[in-house]
Amino acid sequence: MSNHSSIYQRCVQARLKIGKPGNTRTDKSETQATNMKHGVSNVASVTKRILEDPLRTEIANLTTKAEKLHEDNTLPFDGMDILKSTNYKDYIAKVTPVLRELSGKIEAFCDPNYYEGAINAQAPRMKGLFNREDFYNCDEMKRKLYIDFKIKPLGKLEGFAEVFDDADLVKELQAQGKEEEDKEVKETNKVAWNRLYAVTNHLFEQMKDDNKRLLQSQFDKLKELAELLPKLSPTDDPDLATIAKELKDKVAILDPDDLKYDPENRKKVAETTESILDKMKGFI
């Protein structure tokens, strides 16, 4: 396996946080009335959805899309999300247009004229449950609908030597740091292995049951993941690359319709998939 210390030369930290202002409120008067109706206290709680707006829905959908792209293209390491340098261009090409569109829609939504109009439009829908005080004002909404997107270098273990004059202490700290780093790298790679195992195992469960239908999308998903994960591995894990290639060549390449009409071949492919799964268990 490649030298773990090279992770600092191979990867950068990628941070993506998107604000998600709350959209529900507890109606105190309705809560009190409901509890009184049933002769109870602090049992019922009446919650209302305060804002239904098409532009707000688009913002929520784009937020989910951006977060999914970020999650798919990064791995956790020492409390951070790290991005492999070889996957940097692809990641930026995918996430940038989504964030640009999201930013534009947030700006449009937080325009005072539009936002106030959206609030006023809730009154007919909510009727007696409408309360203007339940809504953020325009400035509050702007602060809560934020996009925090940054990419920066990782720190370096070599910095210990610049801080401490005690050579023995430097060695001790470097050894300790290397041990902690190795553990984090192992956990990071394990996430990649678990992702691949989960998708492969799901397909295997479908294949071994003749009554379950096999879909092309399941094979496409396995192929896509098998191609992507080796690019995410911060240590260029050769075992992950080997298993991923085996899955592409022996499983993901197949046509589910062919397996549908050939039970014996379906059984053989299921056995092959199970054999690969057994190999993967040593890495998760």
| pLDDT of 24 over the 50 cut | yes
Distances (CA, A) of 166 to 169, 171, 173, 181, 250: 5, 9, 11, 22, 55
* Res 181: pLDDT: 77
| Of 153, 184, 205, the domain-final residue | 153
Same domain, residue pair 206 and 101: no
Maximum Cα–Cα distance for the chain, whole Å? 75
Q: Is residue 47 part of a domain?
A: yes
* Res 187: pLDDT: 87
pLDDT mean over 73-96: 91
The band of 109, judged by pLDDT with boundaries at 50, 70 and 90, is very high
Same domain, residue pair 106 and 69: yes
pLDDT mean over 48-70: 97
Same domain, residue pair 8 and 146: yes
| pLDDT of 1 over the 50 cut | no
Same domain, residue pair 132 and 178: no
Q: Is residue 196 part of a domain?
A: yes
The band of 163, judged by pLDDT with boundaries at 50, 70 and 90, is very low
For 212-266, write each residue's pLDDT tens digit: 899 999 999 999 999 999 998 888 899 999 999 999 999 999 999 888 888 899 9
- % pLDDT > 90, the chain: 69
Same domain, residue pair 146 and 176: no
The band of 170, judged by pLDDT with boundaries at 50, 70 and 90, is low
Residue 234: DSSP 8-state = T
| pLDDT of 160 over the 50 cut | no
Same domain, residue pair 50 and 91: yes
* Res 85: pLDDT: 81
- Alpha-carbon distance 223 to 227, whole Å? 6
Q: Is residue 162 part of a domain?
A: no
| Of 106, 121, 153, the domain-final residue | 153
Same domain, residue pair 21 and 138: yes
Q: Is residue 11 part of a domain?
A: yes
Q: How many domains does the chain have?
A: 2
Name the residue range of residue 111's domain: 4-153
Q: In this structure, which long-range contacts are made by residues 188-191, counting pairs with CB atoms below 8 Å and at least 24 apart in sequence?
A: 188/75, 188/76, 188/77, 188/82, 188/234, 189/75, 189/233, 189/234, 189/235, 189/237, 189/240, 189/283, 190/283, 190/284, 191/75, 191/76
Q: Is residue 161 part of a domain?
A: no
